[in-house]
Chains A and B, each alone.
Chain A
Amino acid sequence: MTENQLPATLAEIRDDFLALEQRERLEMLLEFANELPELPPRYSEHPDLLERVEECQSPVFIFVEVEDGVVHLFATAPREAPTTRGFASILVQGIDGLTVDEVLGIPDDFPNTIGLTEAVSLLRIRGMTAMLGRTKRQLRERVAA
């Protein structure tokens, strides 16, 4: 178990944000938003499979897959909600390809540590915390199933 150990992928994203001025952090978040991959057809054609993150202001949906012990995270959010897309994109890029234990070990307060609480406000960061929480919960369900 790698309990509460931040995976290198997410640590790198965090360090990249922290190295920037507040204003540039917003720009990087927008870059993440633009990089959120399109859903593969098996999900874009079956939105019923996706779970809505109720805590987010904008409709954002996530789905977790486990294949040979490797985790894949899919997410979608509207273009009109770039902040939410940015949060989802950070998690997708940071989580995709990790092992189950690595994902379950991500500290729950990760969203508060990447230097965005001032740039986007603590209130909005809660949406990302909820996304991470639901990702981990879905993952536990998949593994238990």
Chain B
Amino acid sequence: MTVETDSAPKFAGYAHPERLVSTEWLEAHLGEPGLVVVESDEDVLLYETGHIPGAVKIDWHTDLNDPVLRDYVDGEAFASLVGGKGIARDSTVVIYGDKNNWWAAYALWVFTLFGHEDVRLLDGGRDKWIAEERPFTTDRTTPEAVDYPVVERQDAEIRAFKDDVLAHLGHPLIDVRSPEEYSGERTTAPAYPEEGALRAGHIPSAANVPWAKAAAEDGTFKPVAELDAIYREGAGLTEGEPVIAYCRIGERSSHTWFVLTHLLGFEDVRNYDGSWTEWGSTVRVPIVKGAEPGEVPAR
């Protein structure tokens, strides 16, 4: 059972307009059978301070990451997590969150690793919903658990590992971190905690396109013409070439992965979730410092 898509004209220019819903659309469809709304934020307690009525919470760290391995949860844990939130395999899942949907896009990407078909983002996220004074509550949501099948995670298509990145050198890479992290002045985002990388800089030849460039002032995604200017003209991405995006731990780059895949329609985009905390601590991988992308090293 799939809930109808949002036919707002703004989305029509995107490659996959069915991946976005507007705040108007969501308010009109709240409570509809087959629809589950998920909030995913940076702050683990933000949902508890108020959320869209009926929305469930999924936390990127405590729910989606494996507690022991540096990896995502496996099929069994994912099935138990989302089934417990009332999400069935054929549910329409709309995810929203704080900070331009930063963590919401990350959750969407993890849902995609498990092949969940109908998963969408709320354009503008939590802040836009609040700014428009739409319904908001602290009432606890008590979803009825449903059976979600145990599906094996499929990493190959949209997830890159370190060795994949080494083999990919020579093809486009997008570094979505801040200019300071890219040039090697620092290893963490300004005002963010140290997450442990031993070297600073970027992967040779990567173009620096900070993730938030894809968002307009109000947190919605920019129109397709502006996105084209940023990623095609600016970063030189062309149709048919594989792309890998990375950041520090793979969350900001899942936002860019969403833009490239679903809004611009690139077909072979992977997110390198090991990102700088792995690359910057790995022995003898090539690194470039400074504001220029640098050359692809000879093999």
Contact = CB atoms under 8 A, between A and B. Distances in A.
Contacts of A119: 44, 62
Interface residues of B, number: 16
Interface residues of A, number: 27
B262 to A, nearest CB: 27
13 contacts: A26-B45, A30-B45, A55-B194, A56-B193, A57-B42, A57-B193, A80-B98, A82-B49, A83-B43, A119-B44, A123-B193, A124-B44, A130-B193
Interface in B55-95: 61-62, 67
Given A54-B191, A58-B43, A83-B44, A30 B61 contact: no
A13 interface: no
A94 interface: no
Interface string A10-35: 00000000000000001101100100
Contacts of A123: 61, 193, 195
A83 B45 contact: yes
Contacts of B98: 80
A120 B44 contact: yes
Contacts of A83: 43-46
Nearest to A22: B62
A79 interface: yes
Interface in B4-56: 42-46, 48-49
B296 to A, nearest CB: 33
Contacts of B194: 55
B49 A121 contact: no
Given A84-B43, A123-B61, 5 more contacts: A33-B45, A55-B194, A57-B43, A82-B49, A118-B62
Contacts of A111: none
A126 interface: yes
B48 A26 contact: yes
B191 A59 contact: yes
Given A29-B45, A86-B45, A120 B193 contact: no
A125 to B, nearest CB: 11
Interface in A79-128: 79-84, 86, 118-121, 123-124, 126-127
B176 to A, nearest CB: 17
